[in-house]
Amino acid sequence: MRDVYLIGIGQTKITKNAGIRGRYMAAEAIGKAIDHAGIERKQLGMLITGNMTAGRLAQQQQLGALIADVAGLRGIEAATVESACSSGAAAARWGVMSVGGGYHDAVVVSGIERMTHSTLEDTTAALATAADWELEGVKGECFISLNARLMKLYMETYGVTAEDFGHFAITAHDNGLSNPIGFLHKKLDMETYLNSRMLADPVKLFDAPPVCDGAAAVILATEEVARAAQHKGLPMIKVAGSAIGTDSLALDSRRAMLELDGVAISTRRALEQAGIKNADVDIFELHDAYTIITTLSLEAAGFAEKGKGVHFGKQGEISRRGKLPISTMGGLKSRGHPVGATGVYQLVETYMQLTGTAGENQVPDPEFALVQNIGGTGATVVSHILQRCA
């Protein structure tokens, strides 16, 4: 495997009812990433697009070729990757393999999701296709109800209350206030969190992510291309680890419902590839779609003991100046969760952190970041380790 570097980033402002089709949102993000990398379109060998719902909500498939055409890349090798909410990071994984395996010297990865043009019922149904239809979907389960099951079981098993989860949402919203492209710029306190509308007991409004639209893109390349495109005064960013771990789609088929095996597997593989341990991670950009998933991810990734993840961060450990910052630009809770694009937004934000260009949201002097994107309730988990290099 050749070393792979992240050399360019692009993102659109996350919105609702923007009135612009997904292909143009993706093309905008791709154009920004190419310009940021300082390379020519002809240097790109492949476009990989992450998306989940376009076939159902926009009646449009073949996004690879479609977006390549609109983005001025007609003729390029192109395809679409779908793995539910982890589609963006899975697309990045294919990009890493393509460059690392010697097939292309530079590729562009995009993530795009447009969901707010449809009714809430249609969007909820589209998202529910990432659950096990035979075992969960036909029973009327959706991701709110499935996460409610997890949260209720955790509360009963470990004797915690709804208030114990609140600091995750509050931290995300605090960080999101200064993210210019974020969706929710809303200050949150514990009283507001606890009094927010109940979606499915015990999941409340601020335990869940907003429905929104957005697109993001990154350029991945070899060391030779990266050095030629290196921004003056900025470090190079290496993809030091890249892995996927899977589990059953259905919660009732899991080995242990409160243990995210996909998180544990992909984290272990990515850390081993990078040659580092948990203690070396300076940022954990986790998939905080629901506060219960934040809790279980901290445990499964090895940063908190089983049953204690919900308490991690109550003393400021997860703040931007804490020992393990999370949701540094607002996370899925505040930046927003345009599902197929989320994993790429995470990579864009982490690149900014490692290059010291995150502005008000900057974490002090990070070297290694674990970036994790989850599909479903933990069935597909994509982990990347990004490393700041000289």
Q: Is the pLDDT of residue 97 over 80?
A: yes
Please, which residues have CB within 8 angstroms of residue 17's CB and are 6 or more apart in sequence? Answer: 116, 117, 213
Alpha carbon distance 232, 296 (integer Å):
40
Please state the domain count of the chain.
2
Q: Which of 360, 380, 361 is nearest to 372 (CA)?
A: 380
Place of tokens 């952190």: 353
Cβ-proximal residues to 139 (8 Å cutoff; 6+ apart), any chain: none
Whether the per-residue pLDDT at 277 is higher than 90: the answer is yes
Q: Looking at the structure, do residues 180 and 82 belong to the same domain, yes or no?
A: no
Q: Which residues are catalytic?
A: 85, 337
Q: What is the mean pLDDT of residues 369-390?
A: 97
The string of pLDDT tens digits covering residues 26-52 is: 999 999 999 999 999 999 999 999 999
Percent of the chain with pLDDT over 70: 100
Q: Are 351 and 363 in contact (CB under 8 A)?
A: no
Residues 218 and 203 in one domain: no
Q: Are residues 271 and 301 in the same domain?
A: yes
- Is the pLDDT reported for residue 231 higher than 90? no
Q: Looking at the predicted structure, is the pLDDT value of residue 197 above 80?
A: yes
pLDDT value of residue 128: 92
Query: What's the average model confidence in pLDDT over 245-266?
Result: 98
Q: Are residues 296 and 366 in the same domain?
A: yes
Q: 25: domain CATH number?
A: 3.40.47.10
Angle of CA points 275, 276, 282, to nearest 5°: 145
Please check the confidence at residue 390 and state whether its pLDDT lies above 90: no
The reply to whether 73 and 144 lie within a common domain is no
Q: How far does Cα 296 stand from its chain's mean position?
A: 16
Same-domain status, 174 and 301: yes
Q: Enter the tokens of residue 246.
A: 């899977």
The answer to whether the CB of 347 falls within 8 A of the CB of 386 is: yes
User: Is the same domain home to 104 and 248?
Assistant: no
**Mean pLDDT throughout 242-265?**
98
What tokens were used for 185? 């710029």
pLDDT at 295 over 90: yes
Question: Quick one: 222 and 245 in the same domain?
Answer: no
Neighbouring CB atoms inside 10 A of 345's CB total 34
For residue 142, the model assigns a pLDDT of: 92
Question: Which tokens belong to 90?
Answer: 């899975």
**Cα 388 from chain centroid?**
19
| Locus of tokens 């995300």 | 172
Other beta carbons less than 10 A from residue 390's beta carbon: 4
- The residues, any chain, with a CB within 8 Å of residue 226's CB and separated by 6 or more, are 5, 7, 236
Among candidate residues 171, 200, 229, the one where a domain is terminated: 229
Specify the pLDDT at position 74: 97
Give the mean pLDDT of 326-339.
98
Q: Are residues 269 and 174 in the same domain?
A: yes
* Cα–Cα nearest to 82, from 264, 316, 339: 339
Give residue 372's identity as a one-letter amino acid code.
Q
- 19: pLDDT strictly greater than 90: no
Q: Are residues 103 and 71 part of one domain?
A: yes
Local confidence band at 355 (pLDDT 50, 70, 90 cut-offs): very high
pLDDT at 364: 97
Looking at 163, 194, 229, which one is the last position of a domain? 229
Torsions phi, psi for 273 (to 5 deg): -60, -40
The Cα angle at residue 85 between residues 83 and 89, in degrees rounded to 5: 70
Dist. CA 89–CA 141, nearest whole Å: 25
Tell me which residue range forms the domain holding 33.
5-119+211-229
pLDDT of residue 17: 80
Beta pairing partners, 9: 218
Mean pLDDT value across residues 348-362:
98
**If you average pLDDT over every residue of the chain, what do you get?**
97
Q: Taking CA 348 as the corner, what is the angle to CA 43 and CA 336, rounded to the nearest 5 degrees?
A: 135
Q: pTM of the predicted model, to two decimals?
A: 0.98
- 263 and 322 co-located in one domain: yes
Buried b (16+ CB within 10 A) or exposed e, 77-92: bbebbbbbbbbbbbbb
Tell me what pLDDT residue 232 has: 84
pLDDT digits (tens, 9 = 90+) for 116-156: 999 999 999 999 999 999 999 999 999 999 999 999 999 99
Of 152, 154, 193, 204, nearest to 171 by C-alpha is 193
105 and 217 belong to one structural domain: yes
Q: 117 with 21: CB under 8 angstroms?
A: no
Residue 26: the pLDDT is 98
Distance from C-alpha of 114 to C-alpha of 249, rounded to nearest angstrom: 24
